[in-house]
Amino acid sequence: AQSVTQLDSQVPVFEEAPVELRCNYSSSVSVYLFWYVQYPNQGLQLLLKYLSGSTLVKGINGFEAEFNKSQTSFHLRKPSVHISDTAEYFCAVSFPGFQKLVFGTGTRLLVSP
Amino acid sequence: EAGVVQSPRYKIIEKKQPVAFWCNPISGHNTLYWYRQNLGQGPELLIRYENEEAVDDSQLPKDRFSAERLKGVDSTLKIQPAELGDSAVYLCASSLSGPLQVTESEAFFGQGTRLTVV
């Protein structure tokens, strides 16, 4: 069965510092990978996705992620964060052909001045 | 373009009472999902519709939960009777799915309904 692990429940960081949010997945077959962001009292918004092709994926708001098949990881990065990036970030996986997202438990990014 | 619309945004009810949530997906999206998000957790799929057909309801607690998507557009999720453990955010999402859609599984989410059962 598919599963997604986000080891860091909370990541504090200062404004303009770089950040990496970790995501590992478990699957014996090819998967699609996603990062969603959830601002307080809001729904989820897609940041970026990996379906195939280049392993480095660029998304909105300056975020990028790299798919590493050998390490079964899909870590999210941003070189310089802003206060407005404070939110909950969810990694998710799905099987090609199956319309179902399996989410991790989320990582709360806290950006302080 | 309007996104996924859910109502109400917040609902507080006493246990054993019924409650219903409504979702209007993005126009033209044939796939509709209901997710439940418990506090501090990621969303978990309750049910998925392809048009008006429920194609995955394996995680829906059928003794108290029901859902419908008449005419393959709007959807309603109902809980009767509600229990304390049902307190959560209920998220609706929609996507345009099919064999020709390379962006399959890209779901667009509504703002959710926060249910508190007291």
A41-87 residue pLDDT tens: 888 999 999 988 889 999 999 999 999 999 999 999 999 999 999 99
Which of chain B's residues have a Cβ under 8 Å away from the Cβ of A42? Answer: 111-112
Residue A26: both structure tokens together: 């478990």
CATH of domain A3-112: 2.60.40.10
Measure the N-to-C terminal CA separation of chain B; round to a whole number of Å: 37
Q: What's the domain count of chain B?
A: 1
Given an 8 Å threshold on Cβ–Cβ distance, is A99 in contact with B102? no
Query: Distance, in angstroms, between A44 CA and closest chain B CA?
Result: 6
Q: What is the DSSP string of B29-96?
A: --EEEEEEE-TTS--EEEEEEETTEEEE-TTS-TTTEEEE-GGGS-EEEEESS--GGG-EEEEEEEE-
Residue in A with minimal Cα distance to B39: A105
Residue A96 pLDDT exceeds 80: no
The gap from C-alpha B20 to its chain's centroid, in whole angstroms, comes to 10
Q: What pLDDT does residue A21 have?
A: 98
Minimum mean pLDDT range among A4-13, A62-71, B50-59, B71-80:
B50-59
Residue B98 pLDDT exceeds 90: no
Q: Residue B104: which CATH number?
A: 2.60.40.10
- DSSP-derived 3-state class of residue A91: strand
Q: What pLDDT does residue A1 have?
A: 67
Minimum mean pLDDT range among A10-14, A91-95, B31-35:
A91-95
Q: What pLDDT does residue A109 have?
A: 97
Residue B64 — pLDDT band, cuts 50, 70, 90? very high
Measure the N-to-C terminal CA separation of chain A; round to a whole number of Å: 41
Which of chain B's residues have a Cβ under 8 Å away from the Cβ of A98? Answer: 105
Q: What pLDDT does residue A30 have?
A: 83
How far apart, in whole angstroms, are the C-alpha atoms of residue A47 and residue A59?
A: 5
Residue B103 pLDDT exceeds 60: no
Identify whether B8 is preceded by a cis peptide bond (ω within 30 of 0). Answer: yes
Q: Which residues have C-beta within 8 Å of that of residue A93, sequence separation ≥ 6? A: A2, A4, A25, A27, A31, A32, A33, A34, A101, A102
B20 or B108, greater pLDDT: B20
Q: Which residues have C-beta within 8 Å of that of residue B8, sequence separation ≥ 6? A: B21, B113
How far apart, in whole angstroms, are the C-alpha atoms of residue A43 and residue B112?
A: 6
Residue B18 pLDDT exceeds 80: yes
Parent domain of B110: 5-117
Which residues sit opposite B6 in a β-bridge?
Answer: B23
With pLDDT > 90 as the criterion, what percentage of chain B qualifies? 73
How far apart, in whole angstroms, are the C-alpha atoms of residue B27 and residue B17?
A: 32
Residue A101 — pLDDT band, cuts 50, 70, 90? confident
Residue in B with minimal Cα distance to A94: B105
